[in-house]
Each structure stands twice: as C-alpha cells, then as structure tokens.
Amino acid sequence: MREITYAAAIGEALREEMERDESVFVIGEDIGSVREADDLFAAFRERRAWQTPISEAGFTGLAVGAAAAGLRPVVEIMYCDFLGVCMDQVCNQAAKLSLMSGGAYKAPMVIKTPAGCGTREGGHHSQSLEAWLIHTPGLKVVMPSTPYDAKGLMKSAIRDDWPVVFIQHRLLHPLAGEVPDEEYTVPLGKGSVRKEGTDITLVAWSYAAIKAQEAAKRLEGEISVEVVDPRSLVPFDLETVLASVRKTGRLLVVHEASERAGAGAEIVRLVVEADMGALKTAPRVLGSRNIPMPYSPPLEDAVIPQVHDITRTIREMAG
C-alpha cells in the first residue's frame, strides 16, 4: 500500500468524486494557484472549480442554493475562524433546509475548512470551533486524524444528503500514512480504537488524537491506555466509547478546543447518562484554556494540552 500525505488524500478524494459525479463542484478560497497540488483548478476550472474573493457569506449562500437545486457543492473556507462570517448560511439555512421544508429540499453540501493552532497565527486564525457546530441540529461534523480517514470521510461527506462540516487540523496536512489505491469510503459515525488498553479510556480526535497516542506510548509498562478516535462528532459513535469505558472504568477526553462547554463535556454527559455505573472514577476533560489564542509560541503551547499534560492527568486519574 502506498503512503501519501493527509492533504494529498483529501485532494485525491475531491478529484475522484468530481470525476465520478458531475453534480459535485468546489467553490471558495484557496482553490486556484495556491492549491495547484490538487489539480482541481486546472482540471475543472471551466465549470466546476470556482475561486472566489474573500466573501464567505456570499459563496456559502450560493452553495446552499445550489445544493437545494440538486448539486453537491464543496465549500472551501480558508480558516475555520471565518465560519463566523457565514454562520447564518451554515446554521440557519443549510442545517435547517430539509427539516423546515418537510424533506422537500435537501442540502447535500460539504463545508471544508482548516482549523487548530500550532502555526503561530494568533487569535483570528487558530481556533477549534467544533462545539459551535455540533450544537446546531442538522449539521454533521467530521474531524479526521489520518490520511486514510481524511480520504474516506471526505468521500462519504460528499455523498451524504445532509450538510457536513469537514474540519482538518492544519498540522496534519504534511502527515503521511497508508492509503489504498482502490476505491473505499469511511462511514460517518464510526469511531476507531487507535490503541487497545485496560486501565483508562482516552478519547481524542483530530491533532489531539496524535498527542493522545504519543501519551499512551510514553506510559507503556506503567498504565495501559486505550485510545479511541471518534473521527466524527456528529454522528457520534457512543457505543465504541462505552465499550471501552466498560472495560477500563476511567474516561479522559482530550481536545484542542476550549474546555468550557466543549465537545468533551458533551461526551462525558453521554457516557454518564448511558452507564454511570461503568465508571470507577470521575471522568475528566482536558481542553484549552478559555482565552483567545496568543501569537507567542510559548504562550500558544501553554494554552492547549500537550503530551506531558495528558500523561500527568492520566497518572492522576489512575493513581
């Protein structure tokens, strides 16, 4: 099996889906000359690859209308932070279209956007905003952490009849991994056990899943950590998480987004309501501090959970 990067896997998924289905088109920012590696602009520029000005509200609204008319747009938003500019189109229009029309209209569209920190870009270009999105009925939210999942989930997202927000951490873009040559998809709502263990369940997604696996590796021989990557937050694979918690009796959720009212708190709620008796200790969430992301590299690193923070918390919970 060949190895390609996370970014190349997403580009490959887009090309294959556009070749397979003429109703798929891409529109938004960073599609043209800055993304030549994807070949999308060169191959589909005449009819199905549209480079736009910085105008998120405009081109996202256009995509909602196109989806309602039967097309399958993939909207490229340069930074996840810019979703704030088009939240009406995403949350009030795309998310509600099918629900409020009694199913007469659908919004089969993908909103694709890089997120996360680590590239030292400050408070307007470094946020992890998945909590905003999972709070909105009608949206699906996926956050892959490997090249294999990035390609398979993108293909599933494009084929889905509901609006899907595809969030890709920019530090994952150069990550290389095995991706099959043949056709495959990864279903939305199916998690993956990245590492088996018996002492504690560690749930993490996107780039936090990479840190979680490194923390589990450092604790080998001391504490047996099971790492679960849900891959998508809506739909969420509660059964895989529950099966792990029933085995280990402990739950720690790690994410890069703000700890307050984040996805981690929601996962703890789901587990406690489903089977509180499975827990030997109080579940915990390790997220970022509740402040805007600093430009300063040392301060940025101090705001979000690092591998040593994860290992320290696991030792506290297992002790």
How many Å apart are CA 25 and CA 40, to the nearest integer? 10
- pLDDT above 90 covers what percent of the chain? 90
- CA distance to 49, 210, 239, per residue, from 31 (Å): 7, 27, 38
- Tell me, what DSSP letter sits at residue 205? -
Enter the pTM of the model: 0.96
Among the listed residues 213, 305, 194, 313, the one whose alpha carbon sits nearest the alpha carbon of residue 256 = 305
At residue 272 the predicted structure's pLDDT band, cuts being 50, 70 and 90, is very high
Residue 116: predicted pLDDT: 92
Evaluated on CA atoms 61, 236, 207, 117, the torsion sign reads positive
- Would you say residue 30 has pLDDT above 90? no
Residue 42 CB burial class (10 angstroms; 0-12, 13-18, ≥19): exposed
- Sequence-ordered list of residues with C-beta below 8 angstroms from that of 174, at least 6 positions apart, any chain: 5, 6, 7
Give the chain's mean pLDDT.
95
Residue 232: predicted pLDDT: 98
Residue 44: predicted pLDDT: 87
- Would you say residue 34 has pLDDT above 60? no
Residue 319: predicted pLDDT: 79
Tokens of 29: 């920012």
- Active-site annotation, residues: 56, 125
Structural Rg of the chain based on CA atoms? 19
Residue bearing tokens 């270009």: 125
Please report which residue ranges of the chain form alpha helices under DSSP H. 6-20, 40-44, 56-68, 87, 97-100, 130-134, 147-159, 207-218, 238-248, 263-275, 297-303, 307-318
